[in-house]
């Protein structure tokens, strides 16, 4: 991709020839693709000369602190500007970041709101700009410039996110960068909304903006914006949010200039570098506090949005003194014609996000948190995919990574006298929301997503139950949005907007928080539909901790071929405001009822019903240790049925008065403990009976089994094969429709043979 | 208050596209009768929005919406001028009302620190740190090397003492 060549050939050349060869390649580069040198390096840049000089001098710590405070205020102001002015639904509910970077491009500080996961991924495009455009005579970096970017292969969480990146000069010297990034959504992909589930190549993914200049003299170049507008379904969004991002950054620039005026540019440069180094040192100190050793967990996603698969996403954490290594080797190979791959940069920032939210939440949110930590992957795996592999729905493995480190970190931190956060089980970790698109009631074409993932249930903690519908797994202080505002703009109606679901929790001594369910239909448009990209309909995605249960599985359900809007006019009392009741009773004659995992984009006719549920997190500890008062509280709050409580928690109580018979409960629990012992088998016997040589035949399994050097691929309908972990080739999957046709043809042939026809 | 002092103005809360922020715009006229009046209102919004969020940030092409139409009634009152809050010339000593042992950064042992009350807010009161001034609305901590100097309207000036 980058004009690199085989090292062995280079070594045979003389030093002079080698130099000539390299110069020739640099001068004659065909295409500036994603640069592995940039994209595989998540560490801080070395100090620049000016940083070295300043940080070696006698800096006033109080002034550094004041500059940090000023930057925090300025970043908060610019964040609020974007949230208030933005057009994208993501912007309105906090799916954005504003940030300041060192001149070298390291992200130093983000706004104290919103989405933490941006903290370790927005720096890559700046490093690309510096490496490739700074000395390119037709581009360059000048005061007044602004660069746009979205392609996650050049650094970004995923391709829906668009950035405005602005260099800041002081008397001609480049002193820092400022940027604003929004989850814009629509980007002209094969399905509306920016996260196409059916993308089979990177060319199905819509806009592929490597970093390029779109602003000069602080003015947006309208011809380039017009080209972008021409490439997407929502030209209004494309233009308006470029303005919003630019002007929020310009406000931030004003604040930075006033900081320079008050404290001098040296204090600004020193502060943003010092913040990174202080963070890095603190992380090393905290790692050193942990006991040495390795802990691990294997997780799987159960879907690639075209078919059910079991794709492994494992993690081993090894601590050795002040070194921590996060090892994801053994993960599923990349799938060359499925959208659920992710680049290493996206994966790493998900790991950072978990560490900074669930393990060390008091740390500053910047890229230095991950900088001192080693991350190991197999090349061409689902968690470190090649630039050729589509990654439009990388959110599936990304969301899994959002909960990986803390799951195993808990085992290391459990014995620690001082912890920085309560040990917690997994937050819910799949993007269970509707992506939508089509023609609105205002005759505008649009495509985007609902912010419901911001209402995921949290995991249980070592000392308390989880919170319901708290936040997305990757951020905090976000909002789920005002439904009225969405309905004003879009032709869908929430029949049930945000209802905490019953009996759908990660149980344990402490239970998880629950997500909410929603039931939607379309009104006032015949050309509007939904898509959903999530796994976890067959295999729980959020895992329990220390005996706690994992989250239940969450299928998506729909009722086609009805018009509930007519029913609501004629017989409103008949409508059941519950996904379970609607699906179990199947009361609407002629309705086509179905439940599934992911949903590829499909038109929703007016009055048809689509239902989805935000998931629960994982539970903590043994269900038999759950205090009976907490069980009664859940019953009082209608979060749980009596049947569920009795079956799971072994409790005896008066269902009418909710008074617990403590003595009988204790007996039930003791009996269950004895029953457990009786059911138990010695470890060796268990292993002998339970562990298999390889995954069950017919299981569409991807990833290592018992040996991380061997990577299994089991494409549905094809023979299973094994690859060496250091030589993985992306897996090409067959089309589910072709498999279905093949099966039907075989069925027809068998029937013909049976009836004697065709002989 | 005289009835004739009551004034009225027509206000619109406006926004571009479907953005969250609404910007209040005062209409130049009480009735919208023509396309010209509508464009004049959009123009007033343009100016107001630009002055808040930066010239060029306006997005008329995204559509202009009116969320609220409001008639505001108001009476103009005399302004209060805080004209004399700068440090006053006199420096009057104040008697502490007690003392407390306080811990200061970089001082190993607790320091017996005089405590003052509301009377220290009298214009001209002058106290050198360390000191605590507890008033009905806030508490001032006067660190070592700093002085507390009260001015008018409850203003207080902290100055670093010149090192000898």
Q: Could you read off the pLDDT of A307-318 as tens digits, one per residue? A: 999 999 999 999
Q: Which two tokens stand for residue A114?
A: 């919103």
pLDDT of A758? 58
B59 CA: distance to closest CA in chain A (Å): 6
pLDDT category of residue A1 using cuts at 50, 70 and 90? very low
pLDDT of A4? 47
Q: Are residues B119 and B67 in the same domain?
A: no
Q: Are residues B21 and B67 in the same domain?
A: yes
* Spacing of C-alpha A474 from chain mean position: 7
CB A516 within 8 A of CB A613: yes
Q: Please list, in sequence order, all residues whose beta carbon lies within 8 angstroms of the beta carbon of residue A610, skipping any fewer than 6 positions away.
A: A434, A519, A520, A521, A530, A556, A557, A558, A599, A604
> Is the residue at B14 inside a domain?
yes
> Is the residue at B81 inside a domain?
no
Question: Cβ–Cβ of B19/A250 closer than 8 Å?
Answer: no
pLDDT of A759? 55
Q: φ, ψ for residue B55 (rounded to 5)?
A: -65, 130
Q: Please list, in sequence order, all residues whose beta carbon lies within 8 angstroms of the beta carbon of residue A55, skipping any fewer than 6 positions away.
A: A47, A270, A273, A274, A277
Q: Please list, in sequence order, all residues whose beta carbon lies within 8 angstroms of the beta carbon of residue A27, skipping any fewer than 6 positions away.
A: none
How many Cβ atoms are within 10 Å of A271's Cβ, its own excluded? 25
DSSP A130: I
- Domain range enclosing B30: 3-74
Which of B74, B106, B122 finishes a domain?
Answer: B74
pLDDT category of residue A477 using cuts at 50, 70 and 90? confident
Name every chain B residue with its beta carbon within 8 A of the beta carbon of A240: 16-17, 19, 59, 61-62
Q: Are residues B33 and B69 in the same domain?
A: yes
d(CA A715, CA A701): 8
pLDDT in tens, A407-448: 999 999 999 988 999 999 999 999 888 999 999 999 988 888
DSSP per-residue string spanning B49-76: HHHHH-TT---GGG-EEEEEEEEEEE--
> Is the residue at B29 inside a domain?
yes
d(CA A96, CA A114): 6
On whether any CB of chain B is under 8 Å from the CB of A488, the answer is yes
Q: Please list, in sequence order, all residues whose beta carbon lies within 8 angstroms of the beta carbon of residue A91, skipping any fewer than 6 positions away.
A: A82, A83, A85, A182, A183, A184, A241, A244
Name every chain B residue with its beta carbon within 8 A of the beta carbon of A239: 59, 61-62
pLDDT in tens, A580-620: 999 999 999 999 999 988 899 999 999 999 999 988 999 99
On whether any CB of chain A is under 8 Å from the CB of B21, the answer is yes
Question: Cβ–Cβ of B19/A219 closer than 8 Å?
Answer: no
Look over chain A and give the mean of its residue pLDDT values, rounded to a whole number: 94
Candidates A84, A234, A481, A491: best to mutate against B (most CBs of B within 10 A) is A84
CB A144 within 8 A of CB A215: yes
pLDDT in tens, A626-656: 999 999 999 999 999 999 999 999 999 999 9
pLDDT category of residue A7 using cuts at 50, 70 and 90? low
pLDDT in tens, A180-222: 999 999 999 999 999 999 999 999 999 999 999 999 999 999 9
CB A561 within 8 A of CB A494: no
Residue in A81, A236, A251 nearest the CB of B62: A236
Q: Which two tokens stand for residue A399?
A: 């969301």
Cα three-residue angle A759-A739-A533, rounded to 5 degrees: 160
Question: Is the pLDDT at A390 greater than 90, yes or no?
Answer: yes
Name every chain A residue with its beta carbon within 8 A of the beta carbon of B21: 84-85
What value does the mean pLDDT take over residues A496-512? 93
pLDDT in tens, A103-129: 999 999 999 887 888 888 999 999 999
B62 CA: distance to closest CA in chain A (Å): 6
CB A381 within 8 A of CB A331: yes
pLDDT in tens, A127-179: 999 999 999 999 999 999 999 999 999 998 999 999 999 999 999 999 999 99
Question: Is the pLDDT at B103 greater than 50, yes or no?
Answer: yes
Percent of chain A with pLDDT over 70: 99
CB A3 within 8 A of CB A34: no
> Is the residue at B147 inside a domain?
yes
Q: φ, ψ for residue B147 (rounded to 5)?
A: -120, 155
On whether any CB of chain B is under 8 Å from the CB of A84, the answer is yes
On whether any CB of chain B is under 8 Å from the CB of A81, the answer is yes
d(CA B117, CA A530): 66
Number of domains in chain B: 2
> Is the residue at B7 inside a domain?
yes
d(CA B19, CA B22): 8
B2 CA: distance to closest CA in chain A (Å): 40
Q: Are residues B111 and B55 in the same domain?
A: no
d(CA A191, CA A197): 8
d(CA A545, CA A578): 30
Domain boundaries, chain A: 60-263, 285-419+701-759, 422-621
Query: What is the spatial order of strands in the sheet that A445-449 belongs to?
Result: A445-449, A435-439, A528-532, A599-603
pLDDT of A207? 97
Decide if the complex's ipTM is over 0.90.
no
pLDDT in tens, A74-83: 999 999 999 9
d(CA A427, CA A308): 23
A with B: how many residue pairs have Cβ under 8 Å apart? 55
Task: Look at chain A and count its residues.
Answer: 759
d(CA A577, CA A583): 11
d(CA A500, CA A514): 7
Question: Is the pLDDT at A388 greater than 90, yes or no?
Answer: yes
Question: Cβ–Cβ of A489/B61 closer than 8 Å?
Answer: no
Q: B130 preceded by cis ω (within 30°)?
A: yes
Candidates B13, B14, B19: best to mutate against A (most CBs of A within 10 A) is B19
* Spacing of C-alpha A593 from chain mean position: 30
């Amino acid at each position: 991709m980058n004009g690199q060549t085989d090292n062995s050939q280079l070594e045979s050349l003389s030093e002079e020839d080698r130099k000539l060869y390299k110069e020739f390649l640099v001068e004659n580069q065909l295409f500036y693709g994603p640069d592995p040198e940039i994209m595989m390096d998540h560490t801080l840049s070395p100090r620049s000369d000016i940083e070295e000089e300043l940080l070696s001098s006698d800096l006033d710590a109080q002034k550094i602190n004041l500059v940090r405070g000023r930057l925090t205020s300025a970043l908060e102001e610019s964040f609020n500007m974007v949230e208030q002015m933005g057009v994208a639904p993501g912007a309105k509910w906090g799916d954005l970041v504003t940030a300041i970077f060192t001149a070298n491009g390291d992200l130093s500080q983000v706004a104290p709101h919103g989405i933490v996961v941006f903290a370790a991924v927005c720096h890559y495009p700046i490093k690309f700009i510096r490496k490739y455009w700074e000395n390119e005579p037709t581009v360059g970096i000048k005061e007044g410039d602004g660069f746009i970017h979205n392609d996650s292969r050049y650094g970004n969480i995923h391709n829906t996110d668009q950035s405005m990146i602005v260099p800041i000069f002081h008397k001609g010297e480049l002193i820092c960068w400022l940027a604003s990034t929004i989850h814009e959504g629509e980007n002209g992909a094969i399905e509306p909304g920016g996260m196409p589930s059916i993308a089979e190549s990177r060319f199905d993914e819509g806009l592929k903006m490597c970093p390029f200049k779109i602003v000069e003299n602080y003015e947006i170049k309208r011809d380039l914006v017009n080209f972008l507008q021409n490439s997407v379904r929502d030209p209004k969004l494309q233009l308006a949010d470029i303005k919003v991002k630019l002007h929020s950054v310009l406000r931030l620039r004003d604040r930075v200039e006033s900081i320079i005026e008050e404290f001098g540019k040296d204090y600004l440069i020193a502060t943003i570098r010092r913040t990174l180094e202080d963070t890095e040192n603190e992380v090393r100190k905290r790692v050193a506090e942990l006991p040495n050793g390795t802990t691990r967990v294997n997780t799987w996603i159960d879907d690639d949005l075209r078919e059910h698969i079991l794709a492994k996403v494992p993690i081993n954490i090894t601590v050795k003194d002040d070194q921590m290594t996060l090892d994801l080797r053994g993960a599923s190979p990349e799938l060359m014609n499925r959208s659920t791959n992710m680049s290493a940069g996206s994966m790493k920032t998900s790991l950072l996000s978990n560490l900074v939210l669930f393990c060390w939440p008091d740390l500053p949110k910047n890229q230095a948190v991950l900088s001192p930590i080693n991350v190991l992957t197999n090349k061409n795996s689902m968690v470190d995919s090649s630039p050729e592999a589509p990654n439009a729905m990388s959110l599936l493995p990304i969301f899994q990574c959002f909960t990986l480190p803390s799951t195993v970190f808990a085992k290391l931190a459990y014995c620690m006298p001082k912890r920085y956060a309560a040990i917690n089980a997994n937050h819910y970790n799949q993007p269970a929301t509707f992506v939508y698109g089509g023609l609105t009631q205002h005759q505008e074409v649009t495509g985007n997503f609902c912010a419901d993932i911001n209402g995921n249930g949290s995991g249980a903690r070592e000392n308390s139950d989880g919170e319901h519908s708290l936040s997305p797994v990757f951020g905090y202080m976000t909002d789920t949005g005002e439904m009225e505002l969405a309905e004003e703009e879009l032709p869908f109606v929430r029949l049930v907007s945000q209802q905490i679901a019953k009996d759908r929790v990660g149980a344990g001594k402490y239970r998880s928080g629950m997500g909410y369910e929603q039931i939607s239909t379309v009104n006032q448009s015949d050309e509007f539909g939904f898509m959903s990209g999530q796994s976890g309909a067959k295999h729980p995605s959020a895992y329990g901790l220390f005996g706690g249960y994992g989250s239940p599985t969450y299928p998506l359900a729909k009722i086609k071929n009805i018009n509930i809007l007519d029913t609501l006019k004629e017989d409103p009392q008949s409508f059941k405001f519950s996904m379970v009741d609607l699906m179990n009773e199947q009361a609407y004659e002629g309705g086509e009822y179905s439940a599934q995992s992911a949903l590829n984009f499909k038109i929703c006719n007016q009055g048809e019903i689509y239902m989805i549920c935000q998931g629960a997190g994982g539970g903590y500890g043994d269900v038999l240790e759950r205090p009976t008062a907490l069980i009664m509280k859940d019953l009082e709050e209608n979060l749980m049925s009596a049947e569920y409580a009795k079956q799971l928690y072994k409790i005896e109580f008066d269902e009418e008065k909710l008074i617990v018979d403590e003595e009988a409960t204790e007996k039930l629990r003791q009996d269950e403990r004895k029953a457990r012992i009786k059911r138990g088998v010695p470890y060796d016997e268990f292993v002998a009976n339970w562990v298999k040589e390889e995954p069950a035949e017919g299981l569409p399994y991807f990833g290592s089994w018992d040996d991380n050097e061997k990577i299994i691929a089991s494409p549905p309908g094809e023979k299973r094969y094994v690859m060496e972990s250091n030589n993985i080739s992306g897996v090409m999957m067959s089309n589910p429709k072709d498999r279905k046709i093949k099966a039907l043809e075989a069925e027809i042939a068998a029937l013909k043979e049976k009836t004697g026809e065709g002989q | 208050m005289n009835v004739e002092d009551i004034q009225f103005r027509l206000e619109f809360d406006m926004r571009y596209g479907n953005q969250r922020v609404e910007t209040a715009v005062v209409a130049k006229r009480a009735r919208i009768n023509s396309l010209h009046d509508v464009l004049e209102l959009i123009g007033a919004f343009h100016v107001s929005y630009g002055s808040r969020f930066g010239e060029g940030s306006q997005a008329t092409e995204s559509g202009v919406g009116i969320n609220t139409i409001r008639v505001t009634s108001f009476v103009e009152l005399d302004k209060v001028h805080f004209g004399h809050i700068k440090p006053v010339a006199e420096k009057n000593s104040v008697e502490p009302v007690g003392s407390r042992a306080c811990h200061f950064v970089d001082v190993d042992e607790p320091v017996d620190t005089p405590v003052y009350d509301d009377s220290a807010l009298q214009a001209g009161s002058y106290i050198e740190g360390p000191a605590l001034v507890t008033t009905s609305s806030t508490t001032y901590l006067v660190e070592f090397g700093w002085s507390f100097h009260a001015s008018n309207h409850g203003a207080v000036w902290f100055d670093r003492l010149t090192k000898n």
